[in-house]
A and B are shown apart, each in its own frame.
Chain A
Amino acid sequence: MISREEVLHVARLARLELAEDEIEPMARELSAIIDNVARIKELDLEDVPPTSHVVEMTGSLREDVVVPCLPREVALSQAPAVGEGGFLVPSPQA
């Protein structure tokens, strides 16, 4: 069973605030899912190479050519807050 402390630790890593009434159900549901997926640990796969991607490709590089990118005002147009030509955010330290 995943503890309340573990849930809060993982939520901090995920930059996700959980309301008080979300914590206990999250612990219960994560525990159930993890118990279920943990069955794969019964398989002996020690010598099996991992697959991160089904597409085998190497050196997928493009020519080093300058191409247009999004104009600044377009890139900023969807932001909740902008200032001085950049994304405006609260101070990192209150």
Chain B
Amino acid sequence: MSSGLLELSASAAVAAVAAGEVSAAELFELYRARASADREAGEQGLGCFTWVADEAPEAAPGSPLGGVPLAVKDLFCTENVPSQSGSRILEGYLPPYTATVVARLGRAGTTLLAKTNQDEFAMGSSTENSAFGPTLNPWDRSRVPGGSSGGSAAAVAAGLAPWALGTDTGGSIRQPAALCGIVGLKPTYGTVSRYGMIAFASSLDQAGPMTRDVADAALLLSHMVAHDPRDATSLQAPSELQLPSAERLDGVVLGVPGELTGEGIEAGVLESFNAAVARAEELGAGVREVHLPHAPHALSAYYVLAPAEASSNLARYDGVRYGLRAEGAEDLLDMYTRTRHDGFGAEVKRRIMLGTYALSSGYYDAYYGHAQRVRTKISEDFASAFEEVDLIATPTAPSVAFGLGEKTGDPLAMYLNDYCTVPMSLAGIPAISIPCGLSDGLPVGLQLAGPAFSETRLLDAAHALELALEFDGGPARV
């Protein structure tokens, strides 16, 4: 039964538990043993996890998610379970509370299987910037899984977890989902509580599901979305999410923006993307070109706004209330600066410096103010496009998974990974990545984006396309 169990999608596992075909305890033990083995293998494993549960927690009997285990990105606070956002500066931190979204999913019946590796404070596109070391891509261990939610993506792709939570600030769910051949969805900003998520850039951070298929993403998301009085930017979604069932795309108009489907996108990625768009047409979709004239500037605006917010959010790591404190400081200021020197990795230091520079006297309006105006134009571009089309389709990432160490020495080359995903983040709109094919034996992701609160439509379209594309994630299982 065990090997058969592993093949079940999370939704199918929920149904199997409900039907009494398998016990939640058996399911948990299967995945716990697999996740533990990866963790104990050290450098011989994939490095997906920062913590794995010792024993199965009690799942509420008869709960809607049936005790199906869940892997959670390290940056979600989990009570008395290590949560350090991949950073040395939070070494040993045991949060006294659990993030709202994790607690909600627990009440819905998921059991906490493991915490997953990530780029430090979610800053990165390769999961190489982690105090725990890198995560490897299960399709090819010499390559990165993408990032920053690379541990969650690799764990789901490798069958080490049935499903996982990630977070997305500029592409951190969608890009690793694309590079690992799984489904990842960034919901409309504000629909999922950020309470208990260790913050990177608060106007952009959003939690979302990372799953084997679209139905699993919809099921998990349906239990994540809710207004939370503890998050002042949390919203009440105007309508309830419907689980996807579409098999056709009749009446759906897809817009393909030239700005995100041309220069800078690898030939093999474009080929796979174009084939998927052609498949969408065969399913009845209308396809037309749209323009997002400011999208090419999104990355520049993002790399002002996100570091600016980060420099403020990360001011809290000062060696006073939690985590690391540098020894032997002469005075308070010396303790702050040395703790931050010792505790932060190179990319985090770079972003703090960049953000502090952009917010500093004399540069504020030229950089931060200007970037905020670009953000307005990007939202306006999407609003005009959605007057003509229902959804926008682009490749998720400009390339397939790249080699470990290939881009760590060149921050700008690393930042280009977010080229196609950052515009949607700045506009706060939902976007999903689904695997659409292989290029050189590595997965390619297709991104679909819709207007705010269009998750039901987005998931339905992704579902129809997924059925037609018949992507096989099997080769990544370990």
Which A residues are in CB contact (< 8 Å) with B477?
none
Q: What CA separation (Å) do A49 and B380 show in the bound complex?
A: 11
Bin chain B's interface residue count.
35 or more
Q: Does B69 contact A (CB under 8 A)?
A: no
Instruction: Report whether B350 and A30 are in contact in the complex, using a CB–CB cutoff of 8 Å.
Output: yes
In the bound complex, do residue B379 and residue A90 qualify as a contact, i.e. CB atoms below 8 Å apart?
no
> A36–B300 contact, CB under 8 A?
yes
B352 with A16: CB separation less than 8 A:
yes
State how many angstroms separate the Cβ of A30 from the closest Cβ of chain B.
6
Interface membership of B213, Cβ < 8 A: no
Q: Given A26-B353, A55-B189, verify A39-B297 contact (CB < 8 Å).
A: yes
Q: Which of B303, B373, B411 contacts A29 (CB 8 A)?
A: B411
Contact indicator B334/A90 (Cβ below 8 Å): yes
Q: Evaluate contact between B376 and A49: CB separation under 8 angstroms.
A: yes
CA distance A48 to B378 in the complex (A): 11
B331 A90 Cβ-Cβ under 8 A: yes
Q: Is the CB of A10 within 8 A of B360?
A: yes
Indicate if the CB atoms of B232 and A33 lie closer than 8 Å.
Answer: no
Do residues B96 and A57 form an inter-chain contact, with CB atoms below 8 A?
no
Q: Which residues of A have CB within 8 Å of B334?
A: 90, 94
Q: Select one of A16, A78, A93 contacting B341, CB under 8 A.
A: A16
B349 contacts the other chain (CB 8 A)? yes
Q: Are A51 and B372 in contact (CB under 8 A)?
A: yes
The answer on a CB contact under 8 Å between A34 and B373 is: no
Interface centre among A13, A34, A55, A81 (most CB of B within 10 A): A55
Which of A48, A77, A91 has the most C-beta atoms of chain B within 10 angstroms of its own C-beta? Answer: A48
Whole-angstrom distance between the alpha carbons of A62 and B344 in the complex? Answer: 36
Given A26-B350, A55-B233, the answer on whether A37 and B337 have CB atoms closer than 8 Å is: no
Q: Which residues of B contact A13 (CB under 8 A)?
A: 356, 360
Contact of B322 with A by CB under 8 A: yes
Determine the distance from Cα of A36 to Cα of B356 in the docked complex, in whole angstroms. Answer: 17
Give the CA-CA distance A92 to B320 in the complex, in Å.
13
A94 touches B376 (CB 8 A): no
- Which positions 28-68 of chain A face chain B at CB distance < 8 Å? 29-30, 32-34, 36-41, 43, 45, 48-55, 57, 60, 62
Find out whether the CB atom of B229 lies under 8 angstroms from the CB atom of A62: yes
Determine whether the beta carbon of A90 is less than 8 Å from that of B330. Answer: yes
The CA of A52 and the CA of B29, in the complex, are separated in Å by 46
CA distance A48 to B329 in the complex (A): 47
User: What does the 1/0 interface line of B309-321 toward A look like (CB < 8 Å)?
Assistant: 0010001001111
Chain B residue at smallest Cβ distance from A6: B357
Question: Which residues on the A side are within 8 Å of B315 (C-beta)?
Answer: 15
* Of the residues A29, A50, A74, contact of B372 by C-beta under 8 Å: A50
A11 CB within 8 Å of chain B: yes
B-chain residues with CB within 8 Å of residue A57 when the two chains form the complex: 233, 235
CA distance A88 to B319 in the complex (A): 10
Interface positions of B (Cβ within 8 A of A): 93-94, 96-97, 189-190, 203, 229, 232-233, 235, 294, 297, 300-301, 303-304, 311, 315, 318-325, 329-338, 340-341, 344, 349-350, 352-354, 356-357, 360, 366-367, 369-377, 379, 411-412, 415, 426-428, 452
Q: List 15 A-B contacts (CB under 8 A).
A: A14-B352, A26-B353, A36-B303, A41-B366, A48-B377, A50-B372, A54-B427, A54-B428, A78-B93, A78-B94, A80-B325, A87-B320, A87-B321, A94-B330, A94-B331
Beyond the given A2-B357, A54-B379, could you list 13 further A-B residue pairs with CB under 8 A, ordered by the A residue number?
A6-B357, A17-B341, A19-B341, A30-B350, A34-B357, A45-B370, A50-B369, A54-B452, A55-B190, A55-B233, A78-B321, A79-B321, A80-B325
